[in-house]
Structure 1
């Protein structure tokens, strides 16, 4: 007879996720340090808010969120707002934890308090793996094409390879 009286099944929540992070195995592809920096923990509140709002992160978006957390942590942030397209994530970079999520306002404004950093991840943010999913060169707005994003522009060559006209 078992003395166990708790619910059966995996425990869900930050404590269980923290234990999972501590038991991560090292693989040959990147090593423990890479795995540690890539690991994200989503609080139960953040998971609930994301499900309610229909926010589903792709692997590339999770990678960008991880990079944004690392950038905030490198600046000494304790709690930051990461803006990724229409979604905003409040994160604790030191703990690699997403605390909550919210949507950017369609009209009016939202005030976010108790953050000491804001990280804006552009649609065309790139890393060694290429552009973020969904980034396009131009889009139609009210029937007229918009100007290309600044990162898609290039300077004309002037002969010396610098792109500057001396």
Structure 2
């Protein structure tokens, strides 16, 4: 089961599944805010990944989600479907067609990753 996960961005709660701001405010069509909401809304976090992120103290910023979306598009253009996205000392197994984070881990704790067809190194722009 995939549960929606919410993050706060500039004071507006965004649901990963729905993408609609809960405060009722919407950016203008084509505005940076709307593009940001659409990018974040296209991603899902599995219940397992959410649990692992909480357990391991892994968090993602809006910039991280944007960087992951760019990396996902590039990987898909090369034919990838199930990829391991490396961001610093953490990694995420991602099913690209559904934009779902399957699991999250720290490299030093889990040096072997299976059931992937590609690896993508993602720069964290704000860290």
- Normalization by structure 1: what TM-score? 0.55
Does residue 1:122 correspond to 2:123, yes or no?
yes
Does residue 1:14 correspond to 2:10, yes or no?
no
Task: Please identify runs of 4+ aligned residues in structure 1 that moved more than 3 A.
Answer: 19-27, 32-38
Q: Runs of 5+ in structure 1 lacking a partner? A: 1-12, 124-131, 135-166
- Which of the residues 95, 102, 106 maps onto 1:103? 106
Measure, in 1, the Cα distance between the counterparts of 2:38 and 2:65.
14
Does residue 1:57 correspond to 2:25, yes or no?
no
1:133–1:27: structure 2 CA closer, same or farther, 3 Å change rule? same
Q: Runs of 5+ in structure 2 lacking a partner? A: 6-15
Measure, in 2, the Cα distance between the counterparts of 1:34 and 1:74.
22
Equivalent pair of 2:80/2:117 in contact (CA under 8 Å): yes
Kindly tell me the number of residue pairs found equivalent between the two proteins. Answer: 112
1:34–1:63: structure 2 CA closer, same or farther, 3 Å change rule? closer
1:110 deviation in Å? 1.3
1:133–1:26: structure 2 CA closer, same or farther, 3 Å change rule? closer
Measure, in 2, the Cα distance between the counterparts of 1:74 and 1:26.
30
1:21 deviation in Å? 3.8
Equivalent pair of 1:37/1:70 in contact (CA under 8 Å): no
Q: What is the RMSD computed on CA atoms of the aligned residues?
A: 3.1
Q: Between Structure 1 and Structure 2, whose CA radius of gyration is higher? A: 1
